Structure 1
Amino acid sequence: MPRRSILLFAGACIAIAAALAVTTMVVVGRQDEARDAGAVTSTGQAQVGGPFQLVNQDGQAVDQSILNGKWTLVFFGFTYCPDYCPTTLTMLEATRAQLGVRAKDVQVVFVSVDPERDTPQALKDYLSSDGFPKGVIGLTGTPEQVADAARVYRAAYQKVGEGEGYTMNHSLTIYLMGPDGKFRSALAHDLGPERSAQLIERTMARG
C-alpha cells in the first residue's frame, strides 16, 4: 500500500477522532467512569448519528428509524475485511452473551463501506456465518448513501488499490445508540466483551 495513502488515511482518522472527542466533551457526564471503561460517554446529544437512507440485507429500504426502541451498536466495515470486521462482530456476540437477559434489548447494525461489492445478498450471506451475532442488521446502499451515513457518524473510510483485489481502510469505532436513536457512547473495538458489557449496562441504567 503506498505510504502516502496510509498517511492521508491516518490523518483523516485522527481528524475525525478529534472532532468526535471535541463534540462529546461538551456533553460528557461521569468522565472518570467513561475513561476507565475505554469509551467517551455522553449524557446529552452529541453530534454523532442522524438521518440516513440505506438498504438492508433483505433488499428493503430503511432509515434511522430502525434504531428506535432498541439499544443499538453501530459498526462500519465490509465483508471482504480480513481481520477487524469479523473479530469485532465476534466480540459483539460475546458482549451480548455477557449481557444475559439484557441482550434482548440490544441490536447490532453493520454498515458496509464497500457498496461496490457488498450487495444485500452478499451481506446476508456474510452475516449468516457462524460466530457472528444472530439477527445483525446489515446495511448497504449506493456510494452516495453510504458516504452520507458515514458522514453523520463521523466514520472514515477509503478505498485502497485497484481491480478485484482492492481493500478498504476504515475507522473501527463502535457507536452505542440509545432507544431514542441518539448517540450515547463510543466503544473501542478492542475493549473486550466483559468491559463492553459493563459499559453498556451502565449506560442503560442512566437511560
Structure 2
Amino acid sequence: MRLRSLQIILLIAATAAAVTFSAVRWWPATDETPAAASAFTPAFALADSEGRIRSTAEFRGKFLLVFFGFTSCPDVCPTTLSEVAQVMDDLESATGSVQPIFISIDPERDRRLGLADYTKAFHPAILGLAGSEEETKSAAASFKIFYGRENDAAAPDGYSMAHSPGLFLIGPDGEWLRQFTYGTPAADILSDLQSRL
C-alpha cells in the first residue's frame, strides 16, 4: 500500500514537472520584456565608405535601426531597406533621433560594388558599414545573428549569402530593445518608434 502511494506521488510530481517545463519552453516570449531587453548589448566597430570606423558608442542618444545584409541580395535586403526608408520619411522632424544602419555581411564584394551608393539609393540617412571579416563576425555575434556564404551558380560571382533577416531596434543607451521580423510593415515600425520618442 505504501509503495502504491509513493508511485502515485511520483507520477503526480513527474506530471507537474512536465507541465511546468512545457509552459516555460513554449510560453510565447516577447522581445519587449525587461528581461529580454537586458539580455545583451550589441556592439559594432566597422568602417564606413570613407574608411572611418563607426561604432555603437558614437550613436548613443539615438535609436538605431540595424540590418545585416549584402548588396547582391535579391529580395530580403531591398525589401527591408525600402521599409526603413519609408519609416525615415514618415518620421519627419524626428528623423534626427533615429539612425538606420546597414551592416554588410559580404564586406569585400560590397566595398567593390559601392556600399554607400547602394544604401543611398534607398535613403540618404541609411549608413552602410563594411568591416573586415573578423569585425563582421564580431558584430554579427553581438547581435546574435547568423550569416554564411552559399555557392550559387546563378548568383553574381557564383555565390550568395544566407543570413538572419531581422531588423534590430537599439535604444539610445545602446541596449537591445526588439527585433522586427522580416516583412514587418513600415507603419508598424514607425508606430513602435513614435511610442518611444
TM-score (norm 2): 0.76
Q: Which residue of 1 aligns with 2:173?
A: 180
Instruction: Quote the Cα distance in structure 1 between the aligned partners of 2:152 and 2:186.
Output: 36
Q: Which has the higher helix share?
A: 2
Q: Which residue of 2 aligns with 1:135?
A: 125
User: Alignment partner of 2:107: what SS?
Assistant: coil
Q: Which residue of 2 aligns with 1:144?
A: 134
In the alignment, structure 1 residue 92 sits paired with structure 2 residue 84: yes
Deviation at 1:177, TM superposition (A): 0.6
Q: Which residue of 2 aligns with 1:197?
A: 190
Q: Which ranges in structure 1 are unaligned for 5 or more consecutive residues?
A: 1-20, 26-30, 32-39
If you compute each CA radius of gyration, which structure gives the higher value, 1 or 2? Answer: 2
Answer whether contact 2:43 2:143 (CA < 8 A) is retained: no
User: Alignment partner of 1:108: what SS?
Assistant: strand
Q: Which ranges in structure 2 are unaligned for 5 or more consecutive residues?
A: 1-24
Distance 1:120 1:55, change over 3 A: farther
Instruction: Quote the Cα distance in structure 1 between the aligned partners of 2:43 and 2:75.
Output: 29
- RMSD of Structure 2 on Structure 1 (CA): 2.4
Aligned residues: 168
For residues 52-131 of structure 1, the aligned pairs below 5 Å read: 52-119=44-111, 122-129=114-121
Deviation at 1:121, TM superposition (A): 6.9
Instruction: Quote the Cα distance in structure 1 between the aligned partners of 2:180 and 2:152.
Output: 32
Q: Which residue of 2 aligns with 1:154?
A: 144
Deviation at 1:57, TM superposition (A): 1.8
Distance 1:161 1:82, change over 3 A: same
TM-score (norm 1): 0.73
- The residue identity in structure 1 corresponding to 2:143 is Y
Q: Residue deviations 1:104-136, cap 9 Å, x none?
A: 21110100000231227721121222xx12221
Deviation at 1:103, TM superposition (A): 2.5
User: Alignment partner of 1:175: what SS?
Assistant: strand
Deviation at 1:68, TM superposition (A): 0.9
